[in-house]
Each structure stands twice: as structure tokens, then as C-alpha cells.
Amino acid sequence: MSGEPALMSLVSVAKAIAAKKFSSREVTQSCLDRIAQWQPRVNAFMAIEAEQALAAADAADVALAKGNNLGPLHGVPLAHKDMYYDAGKVVTCGSKIRRDFVPTTTSTALQRLKDAGTVRLGSLQMVEFAYGPTGHNPHYGAVRNPWNVDHITGGSSSGSGSAVAARLTFAALGSDTGGSIRMPAHFCGVTGFKTTVGLISRAGAMPLSQSLDTVGPLAQTVEDCALLVGLMAGADPEDPTTSSQPVPNYMAATTGSLKGLKIGVPTAFYVDDLDSEVARVLDETIATLKSEGAEIVKVELPDQRQLTAACQIVLATEAAAFHKRWMIERPQDYGAQVLMRLQNGLAIPGVTYLEALRWRGPALAAYLAAVTGTDAVIAPVAPIPAATIAESDVGNSLDAEAVIQRITKFTRPINYLGLPSLSIPTGFTKAGLPVGMQLIGRAFDEAGLVRIGAAFQRATDYHQQVPKAA
């Protein structure tokens, strides 16, 4: 087999290693070569562990030669957002405060991928404590967008989006509390899967908001994401909030067509105040879904502004509670913007916070009633393509929160409702920046989103586009 292995999809490279068309060492070296080429430009990695990765790859090759295939990701090198605890490894959480933090446990999601045979490449950059949507980081530098390094990646899974887009890793774990998987997927032109709250264990994943945090992957394709979610999902005694329901076969959903499916298009909010190029891509995406056999219907959703407000109240309060000790003892060690946002939570009365939590059930019921009869809803991930790093570097200025809220206005309602949302690459601006759309599903109907997303990717090649190194 010829070509650069690092450019393959996760599913393809896993099959190639299993079939001994490539060794794990060849694949790992290919990723390391690209990392050496791209890291100085994009700053996607927090730590690069080349020697350890090659040694692990060699061990995987030896095991395979002996007929010992560990699992569906045997010998596949991956790197993840630096907030997944990996026993004995430094996990910075993108922060100065945890610069030297070494956990003694491994997160369940990460362990399940290890059990499937993955090789660790290192760890990926992120926004400090996962609390920001742009990709800036005052401690470790902004992560840059491989499509144009003057532009943001989106956050908080900034390194995950950048590294997958530049083909430095076949996939990466992100986390999504207010849009932190979908935003980098949209801005960097990769596929990102925000899963239903309760589908994947959060044990050993740095917490930001216990009500809103979700674990999910970023990868080249929907099929890649389906494989990863299937491996990670399911009950975990370490996280009693996970569902005990059997995990569906998400890979089986990748072959379904769109015939007979109804996809809703919101009549308001998600189609208001869009950048003209995002609006164009939305129209083109809807046209493609229709041409592939889906029925497109209008849906009138409940007031989404109330959902975004409720999400902000819950997130701010819970984040402040997690960080209160450090806000007292080490406020000087936070970046200005993250500290400002944490301080916001101090001003929310307990009654208001609990009202926001109590309303979640009725709000979800109202949403589900509004989308009755549809299989998914399509909406932009953000109203704009990636801004420049300079123009979005708002720090803790007076308008900082307003800028953040505008970027995340289409993602936060979904976090509040706890629904799954699949972000897929759907086009480019005239300047060559990616634009993604999100498919929003019912709780625990990830398979339905996989079916739609995979069908869209069979009909298009946006997900196969690779940014060029300068």
C-alpha cells in the first residue's frame, strides 16, 4: 500500500494495520513526521511523546505478529485533549494551576480506547480549563487553524480540532459543555460528535459543569466518530450518571440512506443573523440532503434564547463551584478571561440556579414536541466562520462575554437540553475557511445522526479536504 498513512481515516488505517498492510510503527512515524512539520505552525500539541509512541507501536506490531490483536484500534496512534486523566502522565487541563498535575487514575473513556489497542502520541492543547470558545490560551499560546494560521480553531477542544484537520492524529477526544467539540469541528473542517448527556462516562475527565459536560470525539469522518463512540459508550460504575441501556451498533448505521427520513430546518433563531457565507452553505447542505432523499420540513422551535440563558446560568454556577478553592487561593494563576467567567458564577443566587435546573425537563419536553415527526434538525454550528486570532482576543474586556455568547449562541441550547449533535464539514468560504453544520437528534439517538451524517459524507467530499502546509 502506498501513500502517506497519516492521511487515512481512522477506520481505514485501523483496517490497514490489522491486515498488516501498514505496521503500527509506519503509521505512527507518519503521524510524527506530520507533527514535526505542522506543530511549529499550529501549536496543536501540549506534549509530543515520539519515543514512547514508537516503542508502543513496536509492541503493537510484535503482538499482532503473534496473533494477539487487542481490538478494533490495535496499533492506531491517537492524541487527546489534555483533560483526560491518564495515570502517571501530566494532565495540564490547559492551565498554569495544573501544569504539573499527575493523576493516579485513567479516565474511563480513555481507558476504553486504550483497551481497543490505541497508541499514545502525546496530548493536545486546549483552552484553559475548557472554559472558552475561541482557542486562545494565555499560558501555552493560541492554537492556530491549519486552514489559515491567522484564524482561530474554536474551543475549547482547540488542539483536537487543529490536529485532526492537519492529519496529525486520526481522531481526538474533545469535550463539549457549551459547544467545545462542535465549534472546533466547524472552524477546522472536521467531524465532531457531541454525545447525549449520560451516554459516555465522564469519570476521570476534568469537570467544568456536572450537568452539561459531555465526552465525544473529533475525527475525519462520521464513520470514525461512530466507531469511537461505540467503543466509549455505556454504563460505568465510576460515573453513575451514565445510562445502563445497551450500546447500539453505531457502525451499522453508517450505511443507511436518507430515504424516508425527515430533517427539520428551524424557522427562526438558528437562521437569523447569519454570515452570508454560512447562510449559503446552509442552503447548499439542505439541498444535498434533499437530493439524497431526505424530506426537509420547517420546524418552529421554542424560544432558544431562554435556553441559552439557562445554560449560561447553570454553567457559570457549576464552574464557579468547581473552582472556588483556587479562586480564593490562586486567582493570579488564571488567565484573565477564564477568571472573569468563573467570577460570573458568584453572582447567581442558588434559587436562580435551581430554577434553571428544574426547567430543564419541561424545556426538553417542549423541544421534543416541536420536532415531533422529524429524525433530526439541521442548524449552523455558529453564525460566522473562524474569526482571526487577533480580532477575537477579547480577554476580560467589557464586551468579552458578549463576543463569547455570540459565537456559542447555536451550541449552548443543545447543551442545556443534553441532546446529541453531530457537526459535519459542509463547505468552505471564498477565503478557504471551513464551515460546518450540526445535526441535532433525540436523546440517545446517536445512531440516527450517524445515518444522516454518513450519507451526507458519501455524497460530498468536504471531510476529505486537507489543508496544505506552507
Closest contact distance (angstroms) between CB of 377 and another protein is: 13
Residue from 141, 240, 260, 349 in contact with another protein (CB under 8 A):
349
From residue 68 to residue 107, the character string flagging contacts with another protein as x (rule: CB under 8 A) and all else as - is ----------------------------------------
Strand partners for 297 = 264
Task: Please say whether the dihedral angle defined by the alpha carbons of residues 37, 42, 44 and 47, taken in this order, is positive or negative.
Answer: positive
Sign of CA dihedral 284, 286, 292, 293: negative
Question: Read out DSSP for 193-218?
Answer: EEPPTTTB--TTBPPS-TTT--EEEE
422 Cβ partners below 8 Å, 6+ apart? Answer: 191, 192, 193, 194, 222, 225, 438, 439, 441, 446, 449, 450, 452, 453
In DSSP terms, which residues pair with 200 in a beta bridge? 233
Residue 202 CB, nearest approach to another protein (Å): 15
Amino acid (one-letter) located at 420 = P
Confirm or reject binding of residue 352 to another protein (CB under 8 A): yes
**What is the distance, to the nearest Å, from the Cα of residue 43 to the centroid of all Cα atoms in its chain?**
18
DSSP-assigned letter for residue 292: T
Measured distance between the N- and C-terminal CA atoms of the chain, rounded to whole angstroms: 27
Known catalytic membership, residue 409: no
Q: Does 210 engage in binding with another protein (CB under 8 A)?
A: no
CB of 402 to another protein, least distance (A): 7
40: how many CB neighbours lie within 10 A of its CB? 8
Q: Indicate if 291 belongs to the active site.
A: no
The number of angstroms, rounded, from the C-alpha of 234 to the middle of its chain's C-alpha atoms is 19
Q: Which of 166, 135, 147 is nearest to 38 (CA)?
A: 166
Say which amino acid occupies 292. E
| Among 120, 151, 186, 360, contact with another protein (rule: CB under 8 A) | 360
Binding segment for another protein (CB under 8 A), chosen from 32-40, 86-94, 105-113, 362-370, is 362-370
Extract the C-alpha cell encoding 71.
481490538
Closest of 392, 385, 380, 461 to residue 429, by C-alpha: 385
Q: How far is the CB of 314 from another protein (least distance, A)?
A: 10
- For another protein, give the closer residue by CB, 40 or 350: 350
What is the C-alpha R_g of the chain?
21
**According to CB under 8 A, which residues from 437 to 456 bind another protein?**
442-444
Asked if 217 and 460 count as a contact pair (C-beta separation under 8 A), the reply is no
Report how far Cα 354 is from the mean position of its chain's Cα atoms.
28
Residue 2 bears catalytic tag: no
Cα separation values, 316 from 14, 65, 287, Å: 40, 51, 38
Residue 375 interacts with another protein (CB under 8 A)?
yes
Which one of 24, 123, 180, 421 is the catalytic residue? 180
CB of 347 to another protein, least distance (A): 5
Which part of the chain contacts another protein (CB under 8 A), choosing from 57-65, 170-178, 215-223, 340-348? 340-348
| 346 lines the binding site for another protein (CB under 8 A) | yes
Is 409 a residue that touches another protein (CB under 8 A)?
A: no
- Closer CB to another protein, residue 285 or residue 317? 317
Residue from 12, 396, 460, 465 touching another protein (CB under 8 A): that is 396
Q: How many CB atoms lie within 10 A of CB 96?
A: 17
| Shortest distance, position 131 Cβ to another protein, whole Å | 13
Maximal CA-CA distance, the chain: 62
Footprint (CB under 8 A) of another protein, residues 283-322: 303, 305-306, 308-310, 312-313, 316, 320
Strands 215-219 and 171-175: antiparallel
Give 1 or 328: the residue with its C-beta nearer to another protein: 328
**Binding another protein by CB under 8 A: which of 373, 430, 468, 470?**
373
The active-site residue, picked from 23, 95, 156, 211, is 156
Q: Does 400 bind another protein (CB under 8 A)?
A: yes
Nearest distance in Å: CB 411, another protein: 15
214 lies in the site for another protein, by CB under 8 A: no
Q: Is 347 one of the binding residues for another protein (CB under 8 A)?
A: yes
* Closest to another protein by CB, 31 or 307: 307
**Which of 81/442 has CB closer to another protein?**
442
In DSSP terms, which residues pair with 171 in a beta bridge? 219
Considering only the stretches 112-120, 148-156, 191-199, 231-239, report the one whose residues sit in contact with another protein under the rule CB under 8 A.
191-199
Q: How many residues of this chain interact with another protein, rule: CB under 8 A?
A: 52
Is residue 183 within 8 A of residue 133, CB to CB? The reply is yes
Say which of 9, 23, 24, 81 is annotated catalytic.
81
Residue 337 C-alpha from the chain's centroid: 21
The residue ranges that bind another protein (CB under 8 A) are: 196-198, 243, 303, 305-306, 308-310, 312-313, 316, 320, 324, 327-328, 340-341, 343-344, 346-349, 352, 354-362, 364-365, 368, 372-375, 396, 398, 400-402, 405, 418, 442-444
Which positions are catalytic? 81, 156, 180
